[in-house]
Amino acid sequence: MKKEIPKNLKIENRPFINGEFYLPKKVDLIKKKSPVNNYNLPDIINCGEKEIDLAVRSGGKAFNDGDWKNFSPKKKKNIFLSAAKSIKQNLKEIALIDCLETGRSIINFERDSIPKSIEVIEYFAESIDKIYDTMKPLNINSLGLITRKPYGVVASLTSWNDPLVPATWKACPAILMGNSIIMKPSENSTFSLLKVAELFFKSGLPKGVLNVITGSSSTGQKLVKHHGTNAIYFTGSAETGRKISQIASIKKLKKISLECGGKSCFIITKKCKSLKKAAKILAKNIFYNQGQICSAPSRLIINNKVKNTFLKYLYKETNKFIPGDPLDYNSEVGSIVNKNQFKKIKKYFKIGVKEKNKYKIFNKKIWKKSINFPPVIFYETKKNSKLLNNEIFGPILTCQYFSTNEEAIEIANSTDYGLASAIWSDDFKEVHYFINKIESGIVHINSYGEDDNSIPFGGIKESGFGRDKSINAFNEFSYIKSIYFKK
Ligand code: NAD
């Protein structure tokens, strides 16, 4: 069955500022084409200084008026739960907008990505009346209070591959802590967040608390540099993250949180008893969404003794992830987001071939009408291959082999990134060895892609240092104010 595009589908493209959609008098437009069947999409308005200034002032006014930050936790929670309900009611439309804009399959959006972002909103809504400041009695006549306070106006820039998930990871704890936030989604996935901002406003969020400005990297740079923003929360590539950390504090010191890319590994030892299951989980996590997932396990590191059996299982599983029509409910895998991303993937594929790494390509019945890249497994990847330390963000898996666990750890930690990893082993002692040695922010044991809102998400090294999700996220969006009471 195929998703029909309703004739009356209206996609909003104006920035959402101070509780309304705002059309700038002079507009600089970014032309858009859907990766799905070349469907016509509205252009993106490339916001400039004027719109950013309006959004920052609106956020500042909302913060200083205190309407929102002084609401009771219960009132905040109810507004958020009501927004979550409205998003649920609009789920199919939002999923379609995201599918048309990014090419990721409709089924992924309807059953995974959008429900996940609704759960994020509900999780944070339900948490806000359960967090406390702390008190420390000092002596008979005095005590100390350790409290958390909002930064004021904060900004967030996000990536396109899962449009609403990182956006809600940031917006929810930021707003619930009392901040006003200005969001700048990627120019590759803008429209759904505009719709969601409107639904929050209609659910009772005061104007100015959540503004969404649209545009490309030039808009992002202006927002990051703006004197009125006190903290910057970023999800995107390490390359952009580095630029942002350089420009954010040129004129004023700002809190910065960076959530960047990855080159995550999937280690299988000879003591793994469930090779079939491991193959199924690896194929799903690297080839799902054409490898365009920050934490996708793009490096298989496997013991020589089990590699042949495992690869047989892996090839079988990979055949289930051939890209198809993103609007077809039978197709789990959609397309690449745009031609530039396709070219980047192709460039790395060619490098891999030129380096004479042995590979297998899975291109049976690939759907031609959108931008697709078939899954590729470089089943023998040379030690110095460029594929091993560059984030490709596409359906390309490398494989490296080891004899000892010391060798496995050396290979695993030899990249600049440190987002996620997996250890597949049924030996408890061995698992502990890897947990202690592996350089990554998230470690999966005999699993991958586990995703619970109460567990923090984030990496180390070039993968950044921010942490999204869980109660800890409230700390990211607030500073500590220490108070002494004396009799
Ligand atoms: P990107 O770095 O190109 O862009 C991210 C955001 O920053 C976008 O909104 C973009 O417009 C803006 N931007 C780009 N250049 C800028 C500049 N010089 N100054 C200010 N803003 C700028 O990343 P992308 O291509 O949108 O997304 C893919 C990347 O995101 C991958 O590296 C992926 O691993 C990463 N990612 C990380 C996570 C995580 O939670 N760690 C989640 C999803 C995606």
169, 237, 292, 336: residue to mutate for ligand 1 pocket, most atoms within 8 A of CB = 237
Distance from Cα 262 to the centre of ligand 1, integer Å:
12
For the stretch 105-140, pLDDT in tens is 999 999 999 999 999 999 999 999 999 999 999 998
Contact 458, 465 (CB under 8 A): yes
User: Above 90 in pLDDT, residue 39?
Assistant: no
381 lines ligand 1 (CB under 6 A): no
Instruction: Determine the pLDDT at residue 6.
Output: 84
Question: Mean of the pLDDT values across residues 201-225?
Answer: 98
Question: Mean of the pLDDT values across residues 11-39?
Answer: 93
Catalytically active residues are: 259, 294
Instruction: Encode burial over 93-127: b for 16+ CB neighbours within 10 A, e otherwise.
Output: bbbbbbbbbbbbbbbbbbebbbebbbbbbbbbbeb
User: Above 90 in pLDDT, residue 272?
Assistant: yes
462 lines ligand 1 (CB under 6 A): no
189 lines ligand 1 (CB under 6 A): no
Question: Mean of the pLDDT values across residues 55-75?
Answer: 95
Atom of ligand 1 nearest to the CA of 186: 9
Whole-angstrom distance, CA of residue 287 vs CA of residue 412: 20
58 lines ligand 1 (CB under 6 A): no
166 lines ligand 1 (CB under 6 A): yes
Whole-angstrom distance, CA of residue 6 vs CA of residue 4: 6
Distance from Cα 116 to the centre of ligand 1, integer Å:
20
Atom of ligand 1 nearest to the CA of 468: 40
Q: Which two tokens stand for residue 425?
A: 């082993």
| Better pLDDT: 39 or 172 | 172
220 lines ligand 1 (CB under 6 A): yes
Atom of ligand 1 nearest to the CA of 261: 34
240 lines ligand 1 (CB under 6 A): yes
Burial of residue 463 (number of CB atoms within 10 Å: 0-12, 13-18, 19+): buried
Whole-angstrom distance, CA of residue 107 vs CA of residue 3: 9
Considering the chain, what percentage of its residues have pLDDT values greater than 90? 92
Question: Mean of the pLDDT values across residues 291-295?
Answer: 96
116, 165, 186, 233: residue to mutate for ligand 1 pocket, most atoms within 8 A of CB = 186
Distance from Cα 409 to the centre of ligand 1, integer Å:
29
For the stretch 307-322, pLDDT in tens is 999 999 999 999 999 9
Instruction: Determine the pLDDT at residue 25.
Output: 86
Distance from Cα 240 to the centre of ligand 1, integer Å:
6
120 lines ligand 1 (CB under 6 A): no
Distance from Cα 237 to the centre of ligand 1, integer Å:
5
Q: How many CB atoms lie within 10 A of CB 33?
A: 12
What DSSP string describes 151-189? -SEEEEE--SSSTHHHHHHHHHHHHHTT-EEEEE--TTS
187 lines ligand 1 (CB under 6 A): yes
For the stretch 329-388, pLDDT in tens is 999 999 999 999 999 999 999 999 999 999 999 976 666 666 889 999 999 999 999 999
Contact 447, 295 (CB under 8 A): no
Collapsing DSSP to helix, strand or coil, 86 comes out as helix
Instruction: Determine the pLDDT at residue 367.
Output: 65
pTM, whole model, 2 decimals? 0.97
Whole-angstrom distance, CA of residue 355 vs CA of residue 288: 26
| Better pLDDT: 461 or 66 | 461
Q: Whose CA is nearest to atom 40 of ligand 1?
A: 259
311 lines ligand 1 (CB under 6 A): no
Atom of ligand 1 nearest to the CA of 184: 9
Q: Whose CA is nearest to atom 7 of ligand 1?
A: 157
Average pLDDT, the chain: 96
Collapsing DSSP to helix, strand or coil, 44 comes out as strand
Instruction: Determine the pLDDT at residue 37.
Output: 84
User: Above 80 in pLDDT, residue 260?
Assistant: yes
